[in-house]
Amino acid sequence: MRIEKLVLRNYRQLRDVQLALDRQGPNDLHIVIGRNGTGKTNILNAINWCLYGDEPHLSKHSEQLPRLNLGCIEDAGHGGHDLQVAVEVWVKTEDGGTLIFERTETYRIGGDDKEPLRQDTHFEARVTDDKGNTKILVDDEASYCAERFVPQSIREFFFFDGERLDRYFKEATSQHIRHAVFELSQIHVLQSVEANLDTVLKDLRKDAGKANPAIEEVGDALEATEAKLAELDRQIEMCAQQKSLAEDKIAEYQEQLRGAPDAGALEEERRSLDTRNKEKRKRLEESVREKHELLFDHAIRIQVWDAIAESLSTIDEKRQKNEIPPTVDTALLEAVLQDGSCSVCGRALDESSVKHVGAVLDEIRLTSDIAKQLLNMENPLRRHAEKLGRFRGEMTKAAREIGDYEADLAAMERRKREIDAALDGYDVLRIAEWHKERSKFEETRDTNQKQLGALEARRQILTRELGELQNRLDEQLKKEAKVAELRAQISFCARALETIRGTKQAIMRDTREEIESETRRLFFALAWKSATFGDVRIDENFNISLIHSMGYECLGTASAAERELLALSFTLALHRVSGFDSPILIDTPVARVSDSHRVSFGQVLLQVSAEKQTVLLLTPAEHSDDLAQVVDARSSNRLALKLSADEREVRVEVL
Amino acid sequence: MTVAIDRLFVDENDRELYDRLETTDMFAGKTRKEQFLFSLAVGFSRGIKRPIQKREGFFLAKDMTLDDEALFSAVAASDADSVEVLPDRAKVFRIAEEYAHAGIRILVDEIDSTQYGTFEKNLEKQLHDMYDRIGVATKREQSGSTPN
C-alpha cells in the first residue's frame, strides 16, 4: 500500500494543501522541503490525526493553537458560522483499489475573540475496489480499516520524527525492541485470551469451593499464591528491565571509553602520588637535615682529630708512667708546711726544709692539675673517638636513606609524567565523569542482579508451592464427586493457560529472531561501510548489538548516521516482519547526520525507496547541495512548503 | 688586666660572618657555641690561627659540655705542644678563639665560593678523604693506646 495523496483543509497552518505523491520512475521517493514553522511536522500530525484521531508530534507552540486554521477563523468574521477541519489520506491498495481515509471536525465560530467550539468529529474510510464500487465505512469499521493500513500500536515505525532514529538505540534500547516485538507479534490478542481464561479458572475454582470447604480453602491458598507469583513476576520484570537498562548504559559508556584512559583512576593515582610525594619530600628533607647534623658533628671531630689523638696518646703515655692519676698527695705537703713539722716523723722543719717542701709542692701541684685535666679530658675524648668510628657507617646509612627517597621521588615523577602523557589530549573531566557513571550503572546492574537472584529463588519456592497446591486441589476435587464436571473444566482451563503462555513465549522468540535476521540483512545491504561491521544481534533480553568486524560491540561509538542506519534497518525489518508493507514517512531524517555522511544516508534512503514509498520532510539545511545531488534527480516528487506573509497559511509549490 | 674566663670571645668583625653562616643549610639553627666550635675546627685543621683584634663576648663558657671542653683542651695542648697549658683555662680559651677567628673567615670564603648546596657536598668529600687518612692513625692509636 502507498499514499497517493494527502488533502488538508483548514488544518492548522495548512489551510488548503494537497500533496500528490504519485510514483514517477524507479524510486518511490517524495521530498517535501520546508523551513521550520511551515508545517512539515504537522503533515505527520495530520496523517496521525486522520487515521487515529490524535497528534503525537505536536509542538508546544502548536498545542496552544486551535486545530482550525487561524486564517479561516479570522476570515469567518463575527461568528455564527460553522467551519470544518478535514484531512484526507488517499491510499492505493495492493489490489489496485483506492482507500480514502477522511477525518473531519466541525467548529462553530463564536466571534468576539471566543475560541471556536468543536461541534462534531467524523471519521470515514471510503473503499473503492478495482471495478469502481465504493463502500463507505464509518467509526469502528473505518478505524478497523486504518488498523489494516498501519496498526496504531506500531504506527511509530511508519510515520516518525527523524530524531527518533538517532535516539532509538541510545536509550532504553531493549525496552524499545521488546515493545516493538510485542506489538508486532500481536501478543496482546493472546494476552487477553490468557486474562479471560485466568478469570474463568478462578470462577470455576470458586464454584468448586462452594461444594466443599476443603476445596475452597485450597482454592483460596492457590489464588493467593498465584497473586504472589504474579507480583513476583512483575518485580522480576522490573528488576530485569533495570538491569537491562543499566547494561545498555554500561555498554554505551564502555564504548565511549574504549581506548580512553581510566581518567578517574589516573587522576586519583596522580593525586595520591602528589600526597605521597609531599610526604616523601618531607622525609627526604628530614634525612638531609639529619645528614647535615651528622656532617656538622663529625666535621668538628675529624678536623680536630689530630689534637684529640695527641691528647689521648699523652694520656696513655702518662698512664703507663703512672703519672696519672697523681701519686703524691698535695694535701699532705700543704699540711706539713702549715704545721711546720713533718707529719711522718714529727720533726720540726727548718728554713731550708720549708723551702724544699714548698718547691716540691709547686711542682707537684702543677703536675697534679695537668693530670686532673687530662683525666677530665680522657672520657670525653674517647667518646669523640668512638663517635668518629661510626662516621662512615652513619654517613653511608644517611646517604642510602636519601638515595632511596630520591629514587622514590624520581619514580613518582616518572609515573606522573606517564599519567600526564596518557591523559594528554583527552577531556579528563568528561572521561572521569563517564567512568563514574559507568561505575554507578555497574552498581545498579549488580544490585539488580542480586535482587533478581533472590526473586528467582523466591519464585522457585512459590512455583513449587503452587504445584503442590494444584495437586492438593486436584486431589480434593477428585474426592468430591459433586464437582467432577467442574474438575474437568478446571483441568482444561489450566492446560489451555499453560499452552497460551508457552505460545506467547515462542511467538516472541520467533519474532525477535526474525527481526534480528531481517535487520542484519538490511543493515548490511544498506551500509556504506559494511566491511567495518561484523554482525547485528538482538539477544534474548532484546538488547541490540552492532558488532565491529574486530569482534567488539561498537554501537556506542558508531556515528549518528550509522546509528540511524541501524535504526532504519530495524524499522524496515519491522515492516517486513509485521507484513504491513506501508509507506515510511520521516520528518527531518538527516538533521542529526553529519555533512560527510548525508550523501551516504541519502543513497540509503534512495535504495529504500526503490521498494517502499518513502516520504522525507526536510528542512532546507538538510536538503544540502550534496544530498540534493543524490536524491533530487531520482525522486518522484519534490515539493516545497511556503509560508504566507502573515505566517498563517502555507501553500505547496512543485519543484 | 684581668681576662674574664666565663665566656668565649670573637673578633667584633667576625659576628657578621657568623650571621652569614645562618644562610647555609648545614648551619641553619646552630647555636653560637656550635658555630664557634666548627670555625675552631676549620682553623685548627688548616693550622691557621689569628689573634683577635677587638674582643667581643660570643657565648658563655657554662654552655659548654665536657665534650666541648675536652676538644678545646686537646686543641690547646696540641697548639702549645704541651699539656702544661691545660690548667690555664684562659690560655686554652684564647687559643680556641684564635683558631676560630681564622676558621670563620676560611669557612665563609668557602661557602661564598661555592654554589648553593655544594658546600655540604664538598665538605663531605673532604671529610671522607680526611677520615681515610686519620682512620689508619685512629686504628693505630687505638690499638697502641688501649688501657690495660
- Tens digit of each residue's pLDDT (9 = 90 or more) over A292-313: 999 999 999 999 999 999 999 9
pLDDT attached to residue A366: 66
C-alpha A170/C-alpha A558 separation (Å) is: 11
pLDDT for residue B2 is more than 50: no
Residue of A64, A62, A82, A61 lying closest to A72 (CA atoms): A82
What contacts B11, CB < 8 A, 6 or more positions away? B52, B53, B54, B55, B56, B101
pLDDT attached to residue B10: 96
Can you spell out the DSSP letters for A73-118?
HHHH-SS--EEEEEEEEEEE-TTS-EEEEEEEEEEE---TTPPPEE
Measured between CA atoms, the residue of chain B closest to residue A304 is B41
Over residues A198-211, the pLDDT tens digits come to 888 888 888 888 88
Chain B neighbors of A380, CB-CB under 8 A: 65-67, 69-71
Q: Where are the alpha helices (DSSP H) in A424-483?
A: 428-479
Which residues of B fall below an 8 Å CB-CB distance to A?
25-27, 30, 34, 37-38, 40-42, 44-45, 65-67, 69-71, 73-75, 77-79, 83-84, 86-87, 120, 123-124, 127-128, 130-131, 134, 137-138, 141-142, 144-145, 147
DSSP state of A196: H
Measured over the CA atoms of residue A180, residue A186, residue A190 and residue A196, the dihedral's sign is: positive
CB pair distance less than 8 Å for A296 and B34:
yes
What contacts A639, CB < 8 A, 6 or more positions away? A19, A30, A31, A32, A33, A652, A653, A654, A655
The distance of B139 to chain A (nearest Cα, Å) reads: 9
Confidence band, pLDDT 50/70/90 cuts, at residue B64: very high
Q: What is the identity of the amino acid at A24?
A: Q
- Report the run of H or E that residue A293 belongs to, with start and end: helix A263-303
CB pair distance less than 8 Å for B41 and A384:
no
Chain A neighbors of B65, CB-CB under 8 A: 380
pLDDT for residue A436 is more than 60: yes
Cell of B103: 676558621
Q: Does A363 touch chain B (CB under 8 A)?
A: no
Mean pLDDT of chain A: 85
The distance of B83 to chain A (nearest Cα, Å) reads: 7
Strand order in the sheet with A14-20: A14-20, A2-11, A82-92, A98-108, A117-128, A134-138
pLDDT attached to residue A441: 92
Mean pLDDT of A279-293: 93
CATH, domain A266-420, list 1.10.287, 1.10.10, 2.60.120, 1.10.600? 1.10.287
pLDDT for residue B1 is more than 80: no
Q: Mutating which of B78, B107, B126 best tests the A interface, going by the most A Cβ atoms within 10 A?
A: B78
Q: What ipTM describes this predicted complex?
A: 0.92
pLDDT for residue B148 is more than 60: no
Q: Which of B135 and A584 is assigned the larger pLDDT?
A: A584
C-alpha A98/C-alpha A23 separation (Å) is: 15
Nearest to B44 among A296, A307, A388 (CB): A307
Q: Does A390 touch chain B (CB under 8 A)?
A: no
Whether the predicted model's global pTM rises above the 0.90 cut = no
Distance of CA A113 to the CA centre of its chain: 50
- In chain A, pLDDT over 70 holds for what percent of residues? 95
Nearest to A373 among B25, B86, B134 (CB): B86
pLDDT attached to residue B140: 46
Nearest to B74 among A292, A310, A319 (CB): A310
Given a contact cutoff of 8 angstroms between Cβ atoms, the answer to whether B72 and B64 are in contact is yes
Mean pLDDT of A584-588: 87
CB pair distance less than 8 Å for B78 and A311:
yes
Beta strand A2-11 pairing with A14-20 = antiparallel
Q: Does A322 touch chain B (CB under 8 A)?
A: no
Chain A neighbors of B40, CB-CB under 8 A: 300, 304
Nearest to B142 among A319, A385, A395 (CB): A385
For chain A, residues classed under CATH 1.10.287 are 213-260+428-479, 266-420
Mean pLDDT of A434-453: 90
CB pair distance less than 8 Å for B41 and A306:
no
Q: Does A221 touch chain B (CB under 8 A)?
A: no
The distance of B130 to chain A (nearest Cα, Å) reads: 7
Number of H helices, E strands in chain A: 18, 14
The distance of B85 to chain A (nearest Cα, Å) reads: 8
C-alpha A201/C-alpha A38 separation (Å) is: 57
Q: Which of A190 and B59 is assigned the larger pLDDT?
A: B59
Fold entry, domain A213-260+428-479: Helix Hairpins (1.10.287)
Chain A neighbors of B38, CB-CB under 8 A: 296, 299-300
pLDDT for residue A7 is more than 80: yes
pLDDT for residue A393 is more than 50: yes
pLDDT for residue A541 is more than 80: no
CB pair distance less than 8 Å for B71 and A384:
yes
Chain A neighbors of B22, CB-CB under 8 A: none
The C-alpha cell 689530630 sits at A306
Q: Mutating which of B98, B142, B146 best tests the A interface, going by the most A Cβ atoms within 10 A?
A: B142
Measured between CA atoms, the residue of chain B closest to residue A368 is B87
Residue of A308, A318, A437 lying closest to A381 (CA atoms): A308
- In chain A, pLDDT over 90 holds for what percent of residues? 24
pLDDT attached to residue A112: 65
pLDDT attached to residue B145: 43
Mean pLDDT of B98-114: 94
Over residues A115-150, the pLDDT tens digits come to 788 888 999 999 988 788 889 999 889 999 888 888
C-alpha A213/C-alpha B136 separation (Å) is: 114
User: Which of A147-151, A424-428, A531-535, A611-615 shows the lowest per-residue confidence on average (mean pLDDT)?
Assistant: A424-428
The distance of A392 to chain B (nearest Cα, Å) reads: 8
Measured between CA atoms, the residue of chain B closest to residue A316 is B145
Chain B neighbors of A392, CB-CB under 8 A: 128, 131
C-alpha A574/C-alpha A28 separation (Å) is: 19
Chain B neighbors of A295, CB-CB under 8 A: 26, 120, 123-124, 127
Q: Which residues of A28-53 are buried (b: 16+ CB within 10 A; e: fewer)?
A: bbbbbbbeebbbbbbbbbbbbbbbbe
pLDDT attached to residue A524: 84
- Report the run of H or E that residue A17 belongs to, with start and end: strand A14-20
pLDDT for residue B141 is more than 50: no
Nearest to B131 among A296, A302, A308 (CB): A302
CB pair distance less than 8 Å for B141 and A305:
no
pLDDT attached to residue A211: 80
Residue of A602, A529, A526, A539 lying closest to A566 (CA atoms): A526
The most confident of the ranges A110-119, A133-142, A476-485 is A133-142
Mean pLDDT of A246-257: 79
CB pair distance less than 8 Å for B42 and A303:
yes
CB pairs under 8 A between A and B: 133
Mean pLDDT of A359-363: 74
Measured between CA atoms, the residue of chain B closest to residue A311 is B74
Q: Does A312 touch chain B (CB under 8 A)?
A: yes
pLDDT attached to residue A247: 81
The distance of A316 to chain B (nearest Cα, Å) reads: 6
